Chains A and B, each alone.
Chain A
């Protein structure tokens, strides 16, 4: 099979924590998007009967039609990649991955009579254990046997895809999603032994937002994850310096006051008395070690803890600055300046606004990260926020699939290359 064929039928598949981004190179700049979740319907429900009652799991746009009672969602709605890792025996999670993968490939089947399967480049979290690669290969093998849609497949870590999409061969990628964060240095290859994983992500920012809502008298809203997430995104601020920001906000509460109306509801949230708490949300993402957070832990807010998945230790309380330094210091000394000179931030957990009216008291993620690294004595630091972070992994997959030669076969030692399915 020629290189030309592979380039025409390169297909990217990014298994993100919330969304699955997919599609062939012919889509151009943007992939198609499907929520990375599946609903296992109650087989006694009316909709299940109406739809023929044959499907074990529903994915894509049809999910809202099947959703049952709120209490059922926790057990029936499965987000397989919520934490970047699927347990080996989690059959329901793997079933969702199978369904979204198959559906996405079917959606993109070309009409060309010469089409003989896609060259699929999939992307997983950099901390995904080897068995996840094995399971995903099996899924593609099965789909190809059933549909003939996959000629060959390869899997790359998400930070590598981010670096590729941003055209940077040497850099450190800090990716922070809902459940965890990963620091991965790269120099043409991902430097796997230097990866640092953190058991902290957007979900932890939700936790402190929930506690803030509870303290402000909105205890009933504090339990609804969707509301908490919206509040976090709307009111959370990253402080340049937390102590300074708190002092300023206490001096001028009206300036930092925020009134938030949840669209389509009667809910209005007004942190009129203590707007300074807005800075706690952003700071907690970057550094949960400030003494002010102790009172929250004592009142029951979960402290991000160290956990181990396979061989990888996910650190709970390590701040992002230390995480980058720890990761870079595991690389050759000569390489370190080049890595610090290009730090790329990627993922939804870095999407914070910094209103100009706050005069630099609130900053964006790249500025905060640069400050943290300079405080640790790193001088020539350049931090960039990935543009269109939502699509960068898919784009990296397309470039990888387009460029890596067909003859370069998959190797479990290198964790690279094409696995030909036939």
Chain B
């Protein structure tokens, strides 16, 4: 309860401070990294970010370290970055170290705000600055990139296989063309008996029954058509 009050007081003091300096509060885009409480202000041709470290960040060393390191990520998304800590805890934070890493330091209480260390101005990374404007749809699409890459690899493999198949088909086509040319050059022969009358003569089963096994309809895949295995396998169990 107390922690929440302190945090609320800090937020109010920070907003008042930057409003007084002529900055307006900017909304935080979804594309920003999730680093807990942070306020963004726009004005004077720059974006200022204030990362708030509430009292809970000072409970143990690991929590504090994590919060400070998280704040560092924001350097790429603004021109100036401040770390805001509760006013009472301001003396326990080393402003020089923060300055060395490009961050400013603010101590904020409910009524009072102290800028212990101003933040140096820097240019955010262009790609990331643009990234702030990415909408949810674009982000969802970006998440699909690895899957799409895998599919592209798959397509590449398929194309390679198609090339092999195509070259084989070319070979077969050339062979068939030669045979067709040779047949065309032969003299005309007498007409043969019709297919159905030959089937009757040899006592074959009805054409419909034969077709169901040996002559698959056209809509069947190519690997099933004219495949001698269809007949061999359909007799399994009869041997």
Chain A residues at the B interface, C-beta cutoff of 8 Å = 3, 25, 28-29, 33, 61, 64-65, 163-165, 167, 169, 188, 351, 385, 387-390, 395, 398-400, 402-405, 407-408, 416-417
Top 4 A-B pairs, shortest CB-CB distance: A403-B233, A408-B237, A395-B223, A164-B229
Q: Which residues of B contact A385 (CB under 8 A)?
A: 164
Q: How far is the CA of A163 from the CA of B223 in the complex (A)?
A: 11
Residues of B within 8 A of A165 (CB): 223
Q: Which residues of A contact B227 (CB under 8 A)?
A: 164, 167, 399
For the complex, give the distance between the alpha carbons of A387 and B161 in Å: 7
Are the CB atoms of A61 and B147 closer together than 8 Å? yes
Taking a contact as CB atoms under 8 Å apart, the answer to whether A395 and B236 are in contact is no
Chain B's nearest CB lies how many Å from the CB of A20?
13
Q: Are B234 and A390 in contact (CB under 8 A)?
A: no
Nearest CB of B to A80, in Å? 19
Cα–Cα distance between A404 and B232 once the two chains are bound (Å): 9
Inter-chain CA distance A248–B110, complex, in Å, is 82
Decide if B204 is an interface residue (CB 8 Å cutoff). no
Point out the residues of chain B lying under 8 angstroms from A407, CB to CB: 237
Query: Which residues B178-236 have CB closer than 8 A to chain A?
Result: 212-213, 221-224, 226-234, 236
A165–B223 alpha-carbon span in the complex (Å): 6
19 interchain pairs, CB-CB under 8 A = A64-B146, A64-B147, A164-B233, A167-B223, A167-B227, A188-B232, A351-B160, A387-B161, A388-B161, A388-B164, A389-B161, A390-B158, A399-B233, A402-B224, A402-B230, A403-B213, A403-B234, A405-B237, A408-B236
| Interface assignment of B168: CB less than 8 Å from any CB of chain A | yes
Q: Is B165 an interface residue (CB 8 A)?
A: yes
State which residues 121-173 of B face A: CB under 8 Å.
143, 146-147, 154, 157-158, 160-162, 164-165, 168
The answer for the CA separation of A28 and B232 in the assembled complex, in Å, is: 22
Residues of B within 8 A of A405 (CB): 234, 236-237
What residue in chain B is nearest A411 (Cβ atoms)? Answer: B237
Task: Give the most central of B143, B234, B236: most A CB within 10 Å.
Answer: B236
Query: Which A residues are in CB contact (< 8 Å) with B236?
Result: 403-405, 408, 416-417
For A417, the chain B residues whose CB sits under 8 A away are: 236-237
CA distance A165 to B157 in the complex (A): 19
The smallest C-beta distance from A353 to any residue of chain B, in angstroms, reads: 9
For A385, A395, A403, A404, the residue with the greatest tally of chain B CB atoms inside 10 Å of its CB is: A403
Contacts of B223 in A (CB 8 A): 29, 165, 167, 395, 398-399
